[in-house]
Amino acid sequence: MKNIKLLLGTAIAGALFLTSCKGNENNEPTNNSDISVSREMVAELTAPPHVPTPIGRRKAKKLKVNMEILEQEGELTDGVRYNYWTFGGSVPGSFIRTRVGDEVEFTLSNHPDNKLPHNIDLHAVTGPGGGAESSFVAPGFEKTFSFKTLNPGLFVYHCATAPVGMHIANGMYGLILVEPEGGLPPVDKEYYIMQGDFYTKGKNGERGLQPFDMQKAVDENADYVVFNGSVDGLTGDNAITAKVGETVRLYVGNGGPNLVSSFHVIGEIFDKVYVEGGDLINENIQTTLIPAGGAAIVEFRVDVPGSLVLVDHSIFRAFNKGALGILNVEGEENKKIYSGELREGIYLPEGPGIQSMPTTDEIVESEVPAKSMEEQMKFGKQVYMQTCFACHQGEGQGIANAFPPLAKSDYLNADVDRAISAVVHGLSGEITVNGNKYNSVMTRQMISSEEVANVLTYVYNSWGNNGTVVTKEMVEKVKNK
């Protein structure tokens, strides 16, 4: 009996092996390395937050990818410049979209104006160094190599030239998507987002051209943690958009080089998460971990309008180091899903006693003063996004019944000294702004006199306010009363 079972088992195993080698009932190979290609095409490459056209049901092809390495200066945040090393001229690098079975012919060009050699390691590649050993290229040269896409998923690519961490920290990373046969299910909107941590010689916000700081990187002490290469990479004009009722798919990567991302969208729940960019799908997720050198695909339907905030939920990174983006959703409200405020009351659990503000004298004055109104606006916006954004929102609209608006604010425009005092000394108790009452606490802001002047100048010259220019001397006068 044992021999009969053994023979039957061997016969079944052999049949399965032959089936896997020969293909399925449609005579298509089930081993992805055996998928044949038809014709060739040049890959569409896109800069973030855009992604190329979905693969759909196209057949496997010889896919020609042409990517140029550019070393170029850019803006990390207002007034802070940085020498980025890039794949395709953006951080993250160009998005590459393929399908299982494609034969990718990859040409990597190092611009002759660059100073350093580079290469590329694609996590989607099965082969030495993920392609790094075949792509090491000096300035003014190019290298071509090829690979077969065997595994579906969302994969990181990065430079792997020594010192590897330095090349990655300077912005040399991106995403390559390998779609399964037949493509991913269609959605209404797709976007490309990648987190990275940056290490500068100067402290956070210190202006001018900032060089890379190797010791900070070794210590994993990031000055900036950002989406898409800069503090405003996904805010303002760079914000992504959707309409109520649309389904949104985010391809989210983490270039690192060091920090793990706790990716979260404030005001949404992920319907699906392709965990670590692979086949495993988790549902109804609030926050998903994305390791350095890893990725995830998140999908959700937007049901109500508003500005949804994308963050690394290691929250000081979001509101103090830059890991914050905006998804603006337009459309009709749905009171069944979100009612807005229903009522307002008074809550005094600690009684009527006077609450004191936290204080400290450890305020460092800015070393580089603004030299023009234009610089005041730029530097003021930077302070606003780091200090004021969470409560007063991106367009100064505030949060109903909690934090007053700064846009077209009668309270603000009536008395500049009072506004300065609120920033430098704090403010509590009931106030009326544009006819509505607010009774919350604004703590003293631990920023320098020049930063107070810059941020208030930015606020006064934005969103329909009266255009007051606040100077450091005006701030010092209020401080010394």
Q: How far apart are CA 152 and CA 181, in angstroms?
A: 9
Is 111 annotated to bind a ligand? Reply is: no
Which residues 6+ apart lie within 8 Å of 471 measured at CB? 453
Closest to 195 (Cα-Cα) out of 166, 234, 162? 234
Q: Is 392 assigned to a binding site?
A: no
The reply to whether 118 belongs to the active site is yes
DSSP-assigned letter for residue 52? P
Q: Please give the order of strands across the beta sheet that includes 240-243.
A: 240-243, 324-330, 306-312, 261-266, 287-290
Active site residue 442: no
User: Is 172 known as a binding-site position?
Assistant: yes
Task: Note the residue count of the chain.
Answer: 481
3-state secondary structure at position 310: strand
- Does the annotation flag 425 for ligand binding? no
Please indicate if the annotation marks 388 as binding a ligand.
Answer: no
**Residue 50 labeled ligand binder:** no
Contacts with 67 (C-beta within 8 Å, 6 or more apart), sequence order: 45, 87, 88, 93, 94, 106, 107, 108, 109, 120
Catalytic residue among 71, 121, 223, 451: 121
**Residue 34 Cα distances to 20, 100, 189, 477, angstroms:** 11, 11, 33, 77
- The catalytically annotated residue of 67, 77, 123, 232 is 123
Choice among 181, 276, 313, 391 that is catalytic: 313
392 is catalytic: no
Catalytic, 159? Answer yes
Catalytic residue among 78, 118, 149, 385: 118
Q: Is 118 annotated as a binding residue?
A: yes
- Residue 271 annotated as catalytic: no
For residue 95, the cross-strand partners are: 46
Verify whether residue 111 is a known catalytic residue.
Answer: no
Helices (H), 70-114: none
Task: Report the interhelical angle of 472-479 vs 416-425 (nearest 10°).
Answer: 70
Q: Could you say which of 98, 102, 149, 172 is catalytic?
A: 172
Q: Which of 286, 231, 233 is nearest to 264 (CA)?
A: 286
Options 107, 287, 468, 471, the catalytic residue = 287
264 catalytically annotated:
yes
Which of 190, 264, 388, 442 is labelled catalytic? 264
* Whole-number Cα distances in Å, 328 to 244, 273, 302, 304, 365: 10, 21, 10, 11, 35
Asked about 313 being catalytic, the answer comes back as yes
- CB-CB contact of 157 with 91 (8 Å): no
Query: For this structure, is 357 an active site residue?
Result: no
Pairing mode of beta strands 189-198, 247-256: parallel
**Burial (CB count within 10 angstroms: exposed 0-12, middle 13-18, buried 19+), residue 408:** middle
What is the SS3 assignment for 91?
coil
Show binding-site residues. 118, 123, 158-159, 167, 172, 313
Which residues does the annotation mark as catalytic?
118, 121, 123, 158-159, 167, 172, 264, 283, 287, 313
Q: Give the annotated binding-site residues for Cu cation.
A: 118, 123, 158-159, 167, 172, 313
